[in-house]
Structure 1
Amino acid sequence: MTRHGNSQSSAANLLTDNPELYEARFPDPERLAGHWAEDCLSRYGAGPRVLDLGCGTGRDAAHLHRAGRTVTGADLSEAMLAYARTEHPGPEYLRADLRQFTLPGREFDAVVCLDSALLYCHTNAELDGFLSSVRTCLAPGGLLVAELRNGAFFLGRTELLDAPRVNGFTWRGTTYRSTTTLYVDRTAQLLRRTRVWTADDGSAPVEQRSAWRLLLPQELRYVLAANGFEVLALYDGPGPRTEPPWRAGDPEGTATDADRLHLVARLGRQLPTPVRTPR
């Protein structure tokens, strides 16, 4: 955090630019997300080659590697990738923008996209770019496994929007506090977040802004079908970020009403033929 007298906005991200701090803020000693992803891959018979898109610090990619899979982790943050290579070795780590990427000469049996990373596709063009890129690198019959926020949760509900949420944690002797405000931008169909970071080390507060696309379950089914995917499972819980959290052996849910969505989709052998409406 830069030392100035006044609060400032920053295009950087305190957590993603500081991977050790990220893991301190979001500890996952049980590797629940990785365990859940591996359970999905095993349940639906995925082959061993896995691409973890938006892999972050590499914790989940490394877990899948330890489960016996050949894993490639991809992320846009060079800081995250450097940390992953050192702290969570095993997978190959590459820089890629999930909104549009190419990995020439590589083919995967499954693509995993956790922690709402898919929702950084803010526009229809970016969402199409993501699915087109995934389709290009997946083997026929390959799986897309994703975990993300549920846009339907915000239809008539405001409990996550009513008031700022304050969280704090201490890392290496410094106490950090975040004040987070969420609001729905209905025109852009985005969940926007403003987060102000303060620390007790004398640094100035830093304001950061980010956003996620809000996708409704039926909208997600439609765009996946249009891109040649068959939805095998789509449900709100249990999952690695739900309360109560997913545990090994839990059956898949059937509702799509709560805050999270969990998706398993299979790539068909060809795109569906567009339906043309007679004039």
Structure 2
Amino acid sequence: MTHTREPVPDHGNLLTDHPELYEARFPDPVRLAARWTEDLLRAHGAGPRVLDLGCGTGRDAAWLHRAGRTVTGADTSEPMLTHARTHHPGPHYVHADLRGFDLGENTFDAVVCLDSSLLYCHTNPELDGMLASCRRALRPGGLLVAEMRNGAYFLGRTRLLDAPAWSRFTWRDTTYTAMTTLRVDRAAQLLCRRRVWTADDGSAPVEQHSAWRLLFPQELRYALAAHGFGVLLLHDGPGPRTEPVWREGMPSGGAVADGDRLHVVARLVGAG
């Protein structure tokens, strides 16, 4: 009789705890997110000093560094930071929690927050802490550039919630398979994810749980304004994670925010 092994709960994250796996799962040889970011920074006249919040493996931070920026990459994952310092040198990498950090006052010309990193601010106090920290870190007139899931997309849409999604990739002769289930906690405005990883190397399955805040466009405008930011752009694409994806020469977006990604450029303009 064959017994199915129960997943082993994991308080970490298979990909963020193993940066090589992360880069294998999400290859980005052309650094599309970094190119999109640089296009916006140039279009809105940002100075050279950039803070990349939630920098992960450092791929985008290093590309911005090579483009001539002075970059600080910040993350809470020590494995990610160690990988970044070794494999994507150039930026200054620091351990910092985006929900509240102090990296100096009037230090940066722009803060960049990609890949839904901002949505790890699950509560209003955490979001306020993040935006207050950005305000403190930015020079007058500095930019906040963010890219994330769009909470409004889930109004009346259940496609992503109806059934588990499967994905797999191979790294160093081991194939990893993920079964992902999403649900929405409407009271908390959280998109909750349960993911079970299996590998064909005989290791036990691993179960992981994570969540992202679902922010609505007008809600985000209100929070930004409360901290002294004026919104320059807020739209659903094109961007580095949309389909079709953004390419050089494309317009920087309009007023529509109905797609599954949300793109924001805001300038620090006054007191909150």
When the two structures are superposed, what TM-score results if normalisation uses the length of structure 1?
A: 0.94
Q: Shift of residue 5 of structure 1?
A: 5.0
Q: Does 1:186 align with 2:179?
A: no
Equivalent in the alignment of 1:27: 27
Equivalent in the alignment of 2:260: 259
Equivalent in the alignment of 2:58: 58
- Give the letter aligned to residue 135 of structure 2: R
Looking at structure 2, the residues matched to 101 and 117 of structure 1 have their Cα atoms a distance apart, in angstroms, of 14
Q: Does 1:42 align with 2:47?
A: no
Looking at structure 1, the residues matched to 169 and 42 of structure 2 have their Cα atoms a distance apart, in angstroms, of 36
Q: Shift of residue 8 of structure 1?
A: 1.2
Looking at structure 1, the residues matched to 60 and 106 of structure 2 have their Cα atoms a distance apart, in angstroms, of 20
Give matches, 1:190-201, under 5 Å.
Answer: 190-201=190-201
Looking at structure 1, the residues matched to 106 and 87 of structure 2 have their Cα atoms a distance apart, in angstroms, of 25
Equivalent in the alignment of 2:168: 168
Q: Shift of residue 103 of structure 1?
A: 1.1
Looking at structure 2, the residues matched to 241 and 250 of structure 1 have their Cα atoms a distance apart, in angstroms, of 14
Q: Please, which runs of 5 or more residues in structure 2 have no aligned partner?
A: none
CA shift in 2, pair 1:105/1:135, >3 Å: closer
Q: Shift of residue 89 of structure 1?
A: 0.3
Q: Shift of residue 105 of structure 1?
A: 5.9
- Could you list the per-position Cα deviations for residues 58-96 of structure 1 after superposition, in whole angstroms to 9, with x for gaps in the alignment? 000001001100000000000000000000000000000
- Could you list the per-position Cα deviations for residues 111-155 of structure 1 after superposition, in whole angstroms to 9, with x for gaps in the alignment? 000000000000000000000000000000000000000000000
How many residues of Structure 1 are paired with residues of Structure 2 in the alignment? 268
Looking at structure 2, the residues matched to 50 and 224 of structure 1 have their Cα atoms a distance apart, in angstroms, of 19
Q: Shift of residue 104 of structure 1?
A: 3.0
User: Helix, strand or coil for the counterpart of 1:110?
Assistant: strand
- Give the letter aligned to residue 267 of structure 1: L
Q: Please, which runs of 5 or more residues in structure 1 have no aligned partner?
A: 272-279
Q: Does 1:125 align with 2:125?
A: yes
When the two structures are superposed, what TM-score results if normalisation uses the length of structure 2?
A: 0.97
Runs of 4+ aligned structure 1 residues displaced above 3 Å come to none
Equivalent in the alignment of 2:271: 270
- The percentage of counterpart residues that share the same residue type is 72
Equivalent in the alignment of 1:207: 207
- Give the letter aligned to residue 181 of structure 1: T
Q: Shift of residue 263 of structure 1?
A: 0.4
- Give the letter aligned to residue 256 of structure 1: A
- Give the letter aligned to residue 268 of structure 2: L
Contact 2:229/2:270 (<8 A) preserved: no
Q: Does 1:234 align with 2:229?
A: no
Equivalent in the alignment of 1:86: 86
Q: Shift of residue 253 of structure 1?
A: 2.3
CA shift in 2, pair 1:120/1:258, >3 Å: same
- Compute the RMSD of aligned alpha carbons: 1.1
Contact 2:118/2:148 (<8 A) preserved: yes
Looking at structure 2, the residues matched to 243 and 270 of structure 1 have their Cα atoms a distance apart, in angstroms, of 37
Q: Shift of residue 7 of structure 1?
A: 1.6
Equivalent in the alignment of 2:151: 151
Q: Shift of residue 245 of structure 1?
A: 0.3
Contact 2:227/2:271 (<8 A) preserved: no
